[in-house]
């Protein structure tokens, strides 16, 4: 083990310093090639152990899903447990190990192929779809067997998790209860992985470079400074002392900020604004409330679609939306419709590989081209609307006809519910994301059709400055303070004002306190930020005098 101190630099997330041991996340390789195994008894024992572990994981995931999204969602994991407990499945794996002297990974793969083919050949569409479950559960087993567990979430001692990058669905499984911090070799500050880190309040450093992974050892002592983007392996001496002091200062600062709880978001000259929270799951509501969020300004509903093997049903979505609305107890909750595509992918959508995914079939485009997908989500949203104060937000708008089409679909969904005598609120507000230059430039035409605007500065920066938000090599060109980006926000705010609708900012720039004054002067009504940025923005608002 190399005990020399090493330092790496990336983009920091979060005002915190974390000390801990490194854990390297290896992405699973589910190929499960054949290996000749002499000790077949040992191999069978290995299979049984993996099975027990998989059952434990599924149990845990089921409980989690039940809390988060209700019975339907938990049922998926129950079905997976049933497959594992199926005697035929078990016998088939054992038989493959015995008869071929095969390794357990290969035996599981072989069994999965046979079982999945059987299901796929059935006529009943429900049974047909079970083939995907067989694969899902078998891959889980193979990953456990090959020591490449699919979940980056480590069990046991809390660690600093490192990887080349995390997909958004991998990052979604991380939380403060299991990781102290994370470090990625690649990725950029505007990526969804970074955004998740922010909303989960996990300190992180993104894009430290591949050399870090070559030099980092499992179990190495390390420090991650989210405020500067520095990562130290084996820190000692002066540096260690400095970082320990800094951790103490930042913890004190955080507790000072908490003194702002319960205070108003009001400028020195009396202008009140709303500070809302961005969330990615039902579980994030807790953090939003703990930090005094006035509402939810952006619930990225696509995270309900990630980390799973099939579409969430209307019931599951309804349960999740209802829970957020109930937990927020009448405060505004803005739920954004599915924004999948680009970096947020789920295999079961079977999206074609695109040369320029950020410019491709994502977000509202996908919903408009797959009306059934859209209809199910809208039904779930309208049904949940009676449990609170709902706003529905549509992402990636570029043209008036898109919004007209959306409004028509919403009308049809409401009519359908009316006919089925299913209650829904008539106060649901419909808003659009301003996250393309096109939307900002035609905001004057979009405003009469919308109840509110929400500016997505992450994509607005990407599309205005032609900088892929996933690509760290162009990070220095992706300046969200660029006057073109600010001008587009101003144009949108002017349109909103002229048409008497509200405008908020829900992109990461909303939490940039060096711009809070600028935004308020433009007439921005609401800033929606990660839960742990709420009090920081409140403090800034309370120090601004708009008469100056
Ligand atoms: C944005 O683009 O600024 C935004 C809020 O949406 P997302 O980051 O999820 O693309
Ligand atoms: Mg966006």
Ligand 1 atom nearest residue 300's Cα: 9
Q: Which of 306, 395, 440, 478 to mutate to test the pocket of ligand 1 (most atoms within 8 A of CB)?
A: 395
Per-residue pLDDT band at 130 (split at 50, 70, 90): confident
* Range of weakest confidence among 324-338, 339-353, 449-463, 533-547: 339-353
pLDDT at 192 over 80: no
Average pLDDT, the chain: 90
For residue 413, the CA-to-ligand 1 centroid distance in Å is: 26
For residue 545, the CA-to-ligand 1 centroid distance in Å is: 29
Most confident option among 26-40, 97-111, 164-178: 97-111
Measured from CB, residues less than 6 Å from any atom of ligand 1 are 195, 298, 300, 339, 435, 456-459, 506-507
Per-residue pLDDT band at 143 (split at 50, 70, 90): confident
For residue 457, the CA-to-ligand 2 centroid distance in Å is: 7
Mean pLDDT of 423-438: 98
430 secondary structure, DSSP code? E
Nearest CA to ligand 1 atom 8: 458
- Residues taking part in catalysis: 192, 506
Helices 87-100 & 40-69 angle (0-180, nearest 10): 150
Higher-pLDDT residue of 172, 474 = 474
Q: 417: closest CA among 386, 449, 387, 389?
A: 386
Ligand minimally distant from the alpha carbon of residue 278: 1
What pLDDT, on the 0 to 100 scale, is given for residue 256? 77
* Range of weakest confidence among 92-96, 256-260, 276-280, 331-335: 256-260
* Range of weakest confidence among 58-72, 93-107, 431-445: 58-72
What pLDDT, on the 0 to 100 scale, is given for residue 448? 98
Higher-pLDDT residue of 496, 39 = 496
DSSP states of 220-257: -EEEEETTTTEEEES--HHHHHHHHHHHHHHHHHHHHH
pLDDT at 418 over 70: yes
pLDDT digit string, tens, across residues 290-305 = 899 999 999 999 989 9
pLDDT at 28 over 70: no
What pLDDT, on the 0 to 100 scale, is given for residue 190? 74
pLDDT digit string, tens, across residues 131-140 = 777 887 888 8
Q: 12: closest CA among 206, 250, 159?
A: 206
Higher-pLDDT residue of 4, 370 = 370
The answer to whether 216 and 53 have CB atoms below 8 angstroms apart is: no
What pLDDT, on the 0 to 100 scale, is given for residue 61? 76
Ligand 1 atom nearest residue 195's Cα: 8
Ligand 1 atom nearest residue 456's Cα: 3
pLDDT at 339 over 90: yes
Residues 6+ apart with CB under 8 A from 242: none
pLDDT at 455 over 70: yes
Higher-pLDDT residue of 544, 128 = 544
What pLDDT, on the 0 to 100 scale, is given for residue 199? 75
Higher-pLDDT residue of 412, 236 = 412
Per-residue pLDDT band at 2 (split at 50, 70, 90): low
Q: Model pTM?
A: 0.72
Ligand minimally distant from the alpha carbon of residue 297: 1
- The percentage of the chain sitting over the pLDDT mark of 90, rounded to a whole number, equals 66
Higher-pLDDT residue of 278, 173 = 278
pLDDT at 168 over 90: no
For residue 212, the CA-to-ligand 1 centroid distance in Å is: 29
Distances in whole angstroms, Cα of residue 449 to Cα of each of 229, 323, 339, 402, 462: 43, 29, 21, 11, 26
């Amino acid at each position: 083990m190399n005990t020399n101190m090493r330092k790496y630099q990336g983009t920091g997330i979060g005002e915190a310093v974390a000390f801990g041991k490194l854990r390297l996340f290896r992405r699973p390789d589910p190929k499960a090639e054949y290996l000749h195994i002499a000790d077949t008894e040992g191999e069978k024992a290995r299979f049984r152990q993996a099975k027990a572990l998989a059952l434990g994981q599924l149990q845990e995931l089921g409980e989690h899903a039940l809390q988060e999204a209700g019975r339907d969602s938990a049922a998926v994991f129950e079905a997976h447990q049933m497959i594992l407990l199926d005697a035929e499945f078990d016998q088939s794996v054992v038989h493959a190990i015995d008869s071929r002297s095969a390794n357990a990974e290969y035996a599981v793969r072989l069994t999965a192929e046979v079982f999945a083919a059987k299901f796929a050949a059935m006529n009943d569409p429900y049974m047909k779809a079970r083939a995907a479950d067989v694969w899902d559960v078998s891959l889980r087993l193979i990953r456990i067997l090959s020591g490449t567990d699919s979940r980056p979430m480590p069990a046991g001692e809390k660690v600093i998790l490192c990887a080349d990058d995390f997909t958004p669905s991998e990052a979604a499984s991380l939380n403060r209860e299991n990781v102290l911090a994370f470090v990625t070799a690649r990725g950029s500050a505007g990526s969804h992985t970074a955004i998740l880190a922010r909303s989960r309040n996990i300190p992180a450093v993104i894009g430290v470079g591949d050399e870090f992974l070559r030099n980092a050892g499992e179990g190495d002592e390390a420090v991650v400074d989210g405020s500067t983007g520095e990562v130290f392996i084996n820190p000692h001496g002066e540096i260690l002392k400095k970082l320990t002091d800094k951790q103490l200062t930042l913890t004190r600062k955080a507790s000072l900020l908490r003194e702002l709880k319960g205070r108003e978001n009001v400028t020195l000259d009396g202008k009140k604004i709303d500070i809302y929270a961005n969330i990615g799951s039902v579980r994030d509501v807790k953090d939003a409330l703990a930090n005094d969020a006035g509402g939810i300004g952006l619930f990225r509903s696509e995270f309900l679609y990630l980390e799973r093997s099939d579409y969430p049903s209307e019931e599951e979505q309804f349960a999740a939306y209802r829970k957020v609305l109930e937990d927020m107890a009448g405060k505004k909750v803005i739920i954004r419709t599915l924004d999948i595509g680009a970096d947020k992918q789920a295999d079961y959508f079977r999206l074609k590989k695109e040369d320029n995914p950020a410019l491709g079939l994502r977000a509202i485009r996908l919903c408009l081209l797959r009306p059934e997908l859209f209809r199910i989500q809208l039904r779930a949203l309208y049904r949940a609307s009676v449990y609170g104060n709902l706003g529905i937000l549509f992402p990636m708008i570029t043209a008036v006809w898109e919004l007209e089409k959306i409004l028509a679909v919403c009308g049809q969904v409401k009519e359908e519910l009316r006919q089925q005598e299913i209650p829904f609120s008539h106060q649901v507000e419909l808003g659009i994301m301003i996250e393309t230059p096109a939307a900002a430039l035609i905001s004057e035409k979009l405003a009469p059709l919308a109840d509110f605007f929400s500016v997505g500065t992450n994509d607005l920066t990407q599309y205005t400055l032609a900088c892929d938000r996933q690509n760290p090599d162009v990070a220095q060109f992706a300046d969200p303070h660029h006057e073109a980006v600010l001008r587009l926000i101003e144009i949108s705010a002017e349109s909103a004002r002229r048409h008497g609708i509200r405008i908020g900012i829900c992109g990461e720039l909303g939490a940039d306190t060096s711009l809070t004054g600028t935004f308020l002067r433009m007439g921005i009504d609401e800033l929606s930020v990660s839960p742990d940025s709420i009090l920081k923005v409140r403090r800034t608002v309370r120090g601004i005098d708009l008469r100056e």
